[in-house]
Amino acid sequence: MLTIEVSKNIKKYCLKGRFLRIYRKMKMMIILHPIKKFITTFFPSLFLLVSLSVEARDSTLKHHTILETGGKLLYGVSAERGFLLSTDGGDNWEQRNRGLPKRMVYPFEQDRIKSITSLCFDPRNPERVALTTAYGLFLSEDYGDTWQTIPLADPVKSTSYFTSVALSPHSVDTILLGTSFSGAFITRNRGKSWSTVTEKMEPIYMGAGFYQDILSVSFSSELPDIVYIECGFTEKIYRIDTRSGKYSDVTELSSETALFSSGVSLSELDFDFPAEENRSADKGDEASSTEENITTTHFQKGERLKIASDKYAIYLNSKSAGSGMLEDYLDFLKSHNFNALVVDMKDDHGMLTYDSGLDLPRAIGAVREDIDLDAFIEKCRQKGIYVIGRIVVFKDRNLYFYDAGKYAVWDKKRNAPWGHRIKIEEEESTEIRYEQREFWVDPYSPFVWEYNTAIAKELQDRGIDEIQFDYIRFPSDGDLNSVEYRHGRDGMTKIEAIESFLAFVRKHIEIPISVDLYGFNAWYRMGNWIGQSITTMAKYADVICPMFYPSHFPRPFLETVPYLERARRIYKEGTERASVLAGGRSLIRPFVQAFLIGGELEFEEEKYTQYLINQLEGATDASSSGFTLWNSSNRYYMVTRSLVDYTNGRSK
């Protein structure tokens, strides 16, 4: 029986509230064999979360996925070895990865393929197997001996994240594909053209082009045009006619025409996260690979989580932190039972804001000594305040211009450093000019990784409690079609670039690491757009800090929910979803919108106070491990009453 090992400390500090219930449910699905009746007859794609539990005689398959076909033929997926085949019931296993894309993650020593997110076979012909990576679909018709790439086209989006796949038992050319936020799609000609099967489905449409996460997909065994999908977070199952678009909720039905497809979404099985106490070098053939050992540091993961848990903070820029106003902010924290500060140590322009001793930042004019770091840390310690050093990573004006723009994101049309240029129209003139406001360096560049890691290590050595990486992503605005990244390896994805940076920095940083994520990137499995994959980043980061600012979600998203209630729902549901997606490996400490923008500026005090409170209630109801109030100017005018109730007595 395959089992899951989870650090006790990780469970204690990560698995809270609804997520703990979901975790327990999912763990039962994996390790308890007998509960088959409903799912095997009705939705075998779902049940394979259970039925793949067989005795793994090959030690490299421990914690990984095995898919039964009904006889001695078994298919397996291993993080280390990729796609595997056994023809003798699991006694022996053979790698079969020819034609699958290679994984490109620092330290680039492992001959691995990219992570497989789902797997299925055709039960009428088990020789036919399909699998997905986050952004690719592959088919084999010879037991995985060779793989062909299935082309993707509109309406399948280039940013879609693939979560599930099924092969039709009625046609060798028909494939069903599920995604995390784009719905489900079908091809009847092996990818030459695609059509959506969920476009008209109001129950799963969230607004602004986003759908509920689809965990599993299957075909009807008797009706070629009928398919089934299961939504991972709502646990709803739908029957869909792919020709007419008609659908029905069949979640509560106890029997239905048996489905004739077998597969599994692997994303929900990713619980083999680093538990350092179980991963020492003396474990023989169970020892972890070089790449996995990157996450093993002096501090055990569980200890880092204990240190970082339940932190309630506000953000301060370096001017506020280095001024005589610091005492006022410290008093503000204590009056609301807060216990932490997030402070700029490398700001949005790439300036180090403290008395750094690093040579290169000083040589390129990137040091501005707003903060006497030793005195600042000591003052915070005296007040019992946990200090989180914010480092803006890939938005860096100084490094952008360094060495003639060698490390800048490149504009292939102009053959010059790329920039997002804003159109400026002068009121008193007909002149139109363009102004560049963001300066991005190449996230693929090892030099950029080293530069930021050196800063993080200096802060660690000087006593900062936690390192927080912001703008740990690719640019999202401007003419992205003209962008060229000159420092990446062939086949390296944006997700792998961000993972490589975190893998590199984790080698050098022993204190807790937190990462700031776009709201949608913590709500869904995604990453092809800006490189932020919560499921990947959670392997290295101890704290995930989603920016669930309600004003930053498109208004059509949850459009029917009243605005103030929408704020509560975004934080509650978003925090719960982030907990599940992080898989128990990271704490969830969201940023809370303590500022007004756009039409919100018309809010009176009573309304904006409730707006803030609803966000806090949503986060705490979802058992977040603290939160951080964000106001870039550090004017916390929205706090008009005591927030002590929202620390739940957990502030420490």
Residue 123 forms part of a structural domain: yes
CA gap 618, 631 in Å, rounded: 19
Of the candidates 413, 240, 340, 367, the residue with the CA atom closest to the CA atom of residue 589: 340
Q: Is the pLDDT of residue 396 over 80?
A: yes
What are phi and psi for residue 395, nearest 5 degrees?
A: -105, 105
pLDDT, mean of residues 65-93: 90
624 lies in some domain: yes
Percent of the chain with pLDDT over 90: 74
| Mean pLDDT for the chain overall | 85
Contacts of 458 (CB under 8 A, 6+ apart): 356, 357, 358
Looking up tokens 């000609």 gives 189
212 and 306 housed in the same domain = no
Token representation of residue 132: 């997905």
Q: Which run of H or of E encompasses 216?
A: strand 214-219
pLDDT digits (tens, 9 = 90+) for 337-391: 999 999 999 999 999 999 999 999 999 999 999 999 999 999 999 999 999 999 9
Residues near 440 by Cβ (< 8 Å), separated by ≥ 6? 394, 395, 396, 400, 408, 409, 418, 419, 474, 475
DSSP letters of 363-379?
HTT-EEEEE-HHHHHHH
What CATH number should be reported for the domain holding residue 201? 2.120.10
Same domain, 221 and 345: no
Instruction: Tell whether 424 is covered by a domain.
Output: no
Q: What is the CA radius of gyration of the chain?
A: 25
Residue 501 and residue 597 share a domain: yes
**pLDDT for 43 beyond 70:** no
Which pLDDT score, from 0 to 100, does residue 57 have? Answer: 40
- CB neighbours (10 Å) of residue 230? 23
* Residues 617 and 611: beta-carbon distance below 8 Å: no
Question: What's the confidence (pLDDT) of residue 71?
Answer: 86
The reply to whether 607 falls in a domain is yes
Same domain, 261 and 311: no
CATH code for position 595: 3.20.20.80
The answer to whether residues 242 and 328 belong to one domain is no
* 209 and 70 inside one domain: yes
pLDDT range class, residue 294, cuts 50, 70, 90: low
Residue 219 is assigned to a structural domain of this protein: yes
Residues 485 and 536 in one domain: yes
Query: First vs last Cα of the chain: how many Å apart?
Result: 41
Q: Are 138 and 190 in contact (CB under 8 A)?
A: no
Residue 528, domain extent: 294-408+442-647
Could you tell me the pLDDT band of residue 8, with boundaries at 50, 70 and 90?
very low
**Residue 148 clears pLDDT 50, i.e. is over it:** yes
In-domain check, residue 55? yes
DSSP type of residue 125: E
pLDDT of residue 282: 29
Q: Are 129 and 166 in contact (CB under 8 A)?
A: no
Q: For the stretch 77-107, what's the b/e string if a residue is b when 16 or more beta carbons lie within 10 angstroms of its beta carbon?
A: bbbebbbbbbeeebeebebbbeebbbbbbbe
Distance separating alpha carbons of residues 647 and 652, to the nearest angstrom: 10
Please state, in angstroms and rounded to a whole number, the distance separating the CA atoms of residues 425 and 396. Answer: 26
- 215 and 323 share one domain: no
Q: Which residues lie below 8 Å from residue 4, measured CB to CB, with a gap of 6+?
A: 27, 30, 31, 63, 271, 272
Q: Are residues 233 and 318 in the same domain?
A: no
Nearest to 345 by CA among 467, 446, 437, 439: 467
Do residues 132 and 177 lie in contact, with contact meaning Cβ atoms separated by under 8 Å? yes
Domains: count for the chain: 2
For residues 230 and 366, what is the distance between their CA atoms, to the nearest angstrom?
51
Query: What amino acid occupies position 535?
Result: T
Strand 626-630, strand 311-316: pairing: parallel
Position 650 scores a pLDDT of 61
Look at residue 429 and tell me if it is in a domain.
no
Judge residue 192's burial from the number of C-beta atoms within 10 Å of its C-beta, 0-12 exposed, 13-18 middle, 19 or more buried. Answer: exposed
Asked if residue 583 and residue 505 are part of one domain, the reply reads: yes
Given a cut of 50, whether residue 266 has pLDDT beyond it is: yes
Question: Do 253 and 299 fall within a single domain?
Answer: no
- Of the candidates 157, 241, 156, 158, which has an alpha carbon nearest to the alpha carbon of residue 200? 241
316-340: pLDDT as tens digits: 999 999 988 999 999 999 999 999 9
Sign of torsion over alpha carbons 109, 67, 84, 168? negative
- Model's pTM, two decimal places? 0.86
448 contacts 394 by C-beta, under 8 angstroms: yes
DSSP secondary structure of 513-531: EEEEEEHHHHHSS--TTTS
Boundary of a domain, candidates 234, 269, 304? 269
Task: Please state the three-class secondary structure of 594-635 as a single string.
Answer: CCCCHHHHHCCHHHHHHHHHHHHHHHHHCCCCEEEEECCCCC
Q: Is residue 5 part of a domain?
A: no
The pLDDT of residue 39 is 39
Distance of CA 177 to the CA centre of its chain: 21
- The pLDDT tens digits for 484-527 are 999 999 999 999 999 999 999 999 999 999 999 999 999 999 99
The answer to whether residues 375 and 229 belong to one domain is no
